[in-house]
């Protein structure tokens, strides 16, 4: 293939720009509930983002990447024109990075999943026609855009009602918080560790690990982490002269500890899903440039350096330009406390991890907004800022055609540019 080195360099550049936008927008949105509720400090948020974004992508991101790389378009139809696939994936990356940067500038939380998949479908329709798109793969993904925020909303609603009944309106809020929060910690840690062990162990070792052994290992990890969390919460003491209102301050401190675990679970889920979405087109370009036409029909392992580059871009984007989206989502949809943020964030994490396990890309943005909506509805419709919610939903609708249109423009630009070289 001609221009192979140039293709790889452009894929890396556009992929880095794309993942920068993911960090500035998607990951900022993921961290917004935790930071908006002031459950953790900025330094803690940065540490969580770096550790668990990389862990999610490396340990549990491969299956989604496979869906993006080969599940949307029937690439066999491009066997005689492999350069078109390269141009298309470069266009997808540049379109996604352009749209994410623009949305981040205005503080709009948009979905990288919408952008990537909409762009790939637009490219497929343009070069292969309506039959070149594998609609049986697209339909479950499209349905997930509707069902994932709905499911997350139900989880968030039920979780916050449980928190209210078991802790906040009980006769002894702090005592009950210390009783039930370790249970939540265990559930969160077990889900996170089992997801990493059962689906990610093959990335770091060639030893066959049975499901039973994997579950046992995840159970041990969850128990150890829960013990650590329980020790920390046990040190939160209620002053002797405190009244019921004062108790709630200390209850929220207990939930702040829990939010450390919940935020880690959500960032892990984000790394396993959204980083994979962003680096999928980059992986196609690199594989095509290195392997030529064979790469269209043959599966190949995703190079770890691509995941590393993608994760690096995400973290840098969060640190450099995530403040606007964090402000929008963290304080504008509804007022958040650590207990409310826990319900919303954990609901979103459950939804994303479950979807990733099936190989269906879902939007962390949508699931988190769904979780926040569920928590707000549990407190009454008046607790929600419907104006902000309307703008967020509109941005979701605009994202899909924006990605498709930008991809068409960039594809034709690359096609004519490289044809003249």
What pLDDT, on a 0 to 100 scale, did the predictor assign at position 226? Answer: 92
Cα separation, 34 vs 49, in Å, equals 12
Q: What is the dihedral of CA 378, 381, 386, 388, to 10 degrees?
A: -30
Cα separation, 261 vs 265, in Å, equals 6
| Reported pTM | 0.80
Count: domains in the chain? 1
pLDDT surpassing 60 at residue 206: no
What pLDDT, on a 0 to 100 scale, did the predictor assign at position 239? Answer: 81
Return the structure tokens found at 287. 């594989």
206-215, 300-309, 331-340: the lowest-pLDDT one: 206-215
Average pLDDT score over residue span 177-182? 91
pLDDT surpassing 90 at residue 223: yes
Cα separation, 264 vs 370, in Å, equals 19
Q: Got the DSSP string for 84-109?
A: HHHHHHHHHHHHHHHHHHHHHHTT--
Please report where in the chains the tokens 């689906």 appear, as a residue: 199
Instruction: List, for residues 102-135, the tens digit of each pLDDT value.
Output: 888 887 778 777 788 788 888 888 877 777 677 7
81 in helix, strand or coil?
coil
Helical (H) or strand (E) element with 111: none
pLDDT surpassing 90 at residue 61: no
What are the φ and ψ backbone dihedral angles of 149, each rounded to 5 degrees? Answer: -70, -30
Cα separation, 188 vs 186, in Å, equals 6
What pLDDT, on a 0 to 100 scale, did the predictor assign at position 162? Answer: 92
The pLDDT-based confidence of 242 (bands split at 50, 70, 90) is: confident
What pLDDT, on a 0 to 100 scale, did the predictor assign at position 201? Answer: 57
| 47 vs 290: which has the higher pLDDT | 47
Please report where in the chains the tokens 């668990």 appear, as a residue: 52
Identity of the highest mean pLDDT range in 51-65, 197-211, 259-273: 259-273
Return the structure tokens found at 170. 């009980």
pLDDT surpassing 90 at residue 70: no
Cα separation, 117 vs 129, in Å, equals 16
Write b or e for each residue in 234-249: b if 16 or more Cβ atoms lie within 10 A of its Cβ, otherwise e.
eeeeeeeeeeeeebbe
Q: Got the DSSP string for 123-140?
A: HHHHHH-GGGB-HHHHHH
What are the φ and ψ backbone dihedral angles of 346, each rounded to 5 degrees? Answer: -65, -40
Cα separation, 304 vs 247, in Å, equals 48
Average pLDDT score over residue span 63-89? 66
Between helices 135-163 and 112-128, what is the axis angle to 10°?
170
Give me the domain span that covers residue 97: 4-419
Maximum CA pair distance of the chain? 80
- Neighbouring C-beta atoms of residue 403, cutoff 10 Å: 29
**In 3D, which of 45, 405, 100 has the Cα closest to residue 259?**
45
Q: List all residues 6 or more positions away from 288 whose beta carbon is below 8 Å from its beta carbon.
A: 1, 7, 82, 85, 86, 89, 295, 296
Return the structure tokens found at 277. 């979405």
């Amino acid at each position: 293939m001609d221009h192979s080195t140039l293709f790889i360099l452009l894929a890396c550049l556009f992929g880095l720009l794309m993942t920068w936008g993911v960090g500035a927008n998607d990951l900022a949105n993921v961290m917004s509930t935790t930071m908006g509720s002031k459950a953790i400090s900025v330094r803690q948020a940065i540490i969580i983002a770096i550790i668990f974004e990389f862990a999610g992508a490396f340990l549990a991101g491969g299956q989604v990447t496979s869906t993006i790389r080969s599940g949307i378009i029937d690439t066999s139809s491009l066997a005689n024109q492999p350069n078109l696939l390269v141009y298309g994936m470069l266009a997808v990356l540049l379109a996604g990075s352009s749209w994410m940067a623009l949305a981040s500038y205005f503080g709009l939380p948009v979905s990288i999943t919408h952008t990537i998949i909409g762009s790939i479908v637009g490219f497929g329709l343009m070069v292969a026609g309506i039959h070149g798109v594998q609609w049986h793969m697209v339909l479950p993904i499209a349905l997930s855009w509707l069902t994932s925020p709905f499911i997350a909303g139900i989880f968030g609603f039920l979780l916050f009602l449980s928190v209210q009944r078991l802790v906040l309106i009980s006769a002894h809020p702090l005592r009950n918080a210390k009783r039930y929060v370790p249970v939540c910690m265990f559930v969160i840690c077990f889900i996170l560790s089992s997801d990493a062990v059962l689906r990610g162990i093959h990335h770091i070792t060639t030893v066959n690990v049975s499901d039973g052994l994997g579950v046992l290992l995840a159970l041990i990890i969850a128990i150890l982490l829960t013990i650590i969390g329980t020790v920390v919460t046990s040190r939160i003491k209620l002053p002797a002269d405190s009244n019921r209102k004062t108790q709630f301050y200390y209850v929220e401190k207990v939930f702040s500890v829990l939010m450390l675990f919940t935020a880690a679970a959500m960032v892990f889920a984000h790394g396993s899903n959204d980083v994979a979405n962003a680096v999928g087109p980059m992986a196609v370009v690199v594989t095509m440039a290195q392997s030529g036409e064979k790469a269209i029909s043959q599966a190949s392992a995703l190079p770890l350096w691509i995941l590393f580059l993608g994760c690096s871009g995400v973290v840098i984007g969060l640190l450099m330009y995530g403040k606007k989206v964090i402000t929008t989502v963290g304080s504008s949809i509804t007022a958040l406390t650590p207990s409310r943020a826990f319900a919303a964030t954990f609901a979103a994490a459950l939804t994303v991890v479950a979807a990733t396990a099936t190989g269906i890309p879902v939007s962390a943005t949508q699931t988190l907004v769904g979780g926040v909506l569920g928590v707000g509805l549990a407190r009454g419709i008046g607790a929600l800022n419907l104006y902000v919610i309307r703008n967020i939903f509109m941005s979701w609708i605009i994202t899909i055609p924006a990605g498709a249109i930008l991809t068409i423009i960039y594809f034709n630009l690359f096609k004519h540019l490289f044809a003249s070289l």
